[in-house]
Amino acid sequence: MNRYLKLFIAGLASVLGIYIAFQGENIEGLWSQIVQIDKTAFYSANILLLLSCFVRAYRWGLILEPIEKIKLKDLFASTMVGYFGNGVLAFRLGELLRAYSISQNRSISVPQAFGTVILERILDLLMVLFVFLLVIPWFPFEFEWLRMSAILFAGLIFGIMLFIFFSFKFQWNYNIQKLNILQTGFGKNIIHILNKIFDGIILIKNTKHSLAIIFSSILLWFMYYSVTIILLYACNINLGIVGSGILLIIGSFAIGIPALPGSAGTYDAGVKFGLITVFSIVSDKALTYALVSHFVSYFPVVIVGAIYFMMGSIKISEIQKSKVKI
């Protein structure tokens, strides 16, 4: 798809998201709710989210170690540069920016570094799916259609995970790639994703840090879960242990919707819609949480990332010309 068309679609999604999020809201009343949130909880969430970036950097170092051992401070710097890129650049160029940053003055190549970033994406996706499967059986849905949709989605996820497991176990991927239906553009994208998943499984399986990678992934997402609970408390919303996990998943999917940098509009609309539909939270309180959590997940990491970016020597123009596939 043409980059300009992608940018147009992303911009349209963000504009629609902003419109849906703020439609019918009283801005003065909304601002009054925002300034009244628990400040201690708000600052605690900011600190915890920044600490989670060290855990992410540590996990990335474990993945990179078979290629090159890199100091944690350098991994953290590149991780934050990546967050900065995702926050201000279109097409999630922050992922590529992160790979460029860590490869500077090192033996590791940009494609190699970018491959490990892709693996991190896959690990995060698997953790989201794991959390979803973990909490969904315990959640008392108010509407039957929501319950059935969640069960069907959970079944689909479980089926996909089983398919990936058996494909790897019995090496079905080599035969799957030969299917005619997968020789089209979309089919080739599926093959590309599957190959990345299999490459990641092999890398983790062969490294001596397999357990550490799994543990750090669990710790990382527990920290995200804790941030969610803290911010709910800050906004005077109580969803319980299971409900907070459901909201974490909703927010994760909302961030994944194609939009302008920083998930402008789409995150806010998605989280607000989830809180209203699934939890019956009133509209203004739902939007208050969406905006506060968006602020916490965006500004601290982008500001720290911008500092590290300005301290480096990366040129955005070089990355935009890159032929590495995102």
Q: Tokens 């997968």 identify what position?
A: 182
Domain ranges of the chain: 3-320
- pTM for the model stands at 0.87
Check residue 159 and give its pLDDT. Answer: 78
User: What's the CA gap between 67 and 199, in Å, rounded?
Assistant: 14
- Classify the C-alpha dihedral 172-173-177-182 as positive or negative: positive
Check residue 191 and give its pLDDT. Answer: 65
Check residue 174 and give its pLDDT. Answer: 57
Check residue 316 and give its pLDDT. Answer: 67
Check residue 10 and give its pLDDT. Answer: 87
Q: Over the chain (326 residues), what is each successive 10-residue block's mean pLDDT?
A: 78 93 94 96 98 97 90 96 91 85 87 86 85 80 73 77 67 59 60 65 73 94 97 96 93 88 93 93 96 97 95 70 58
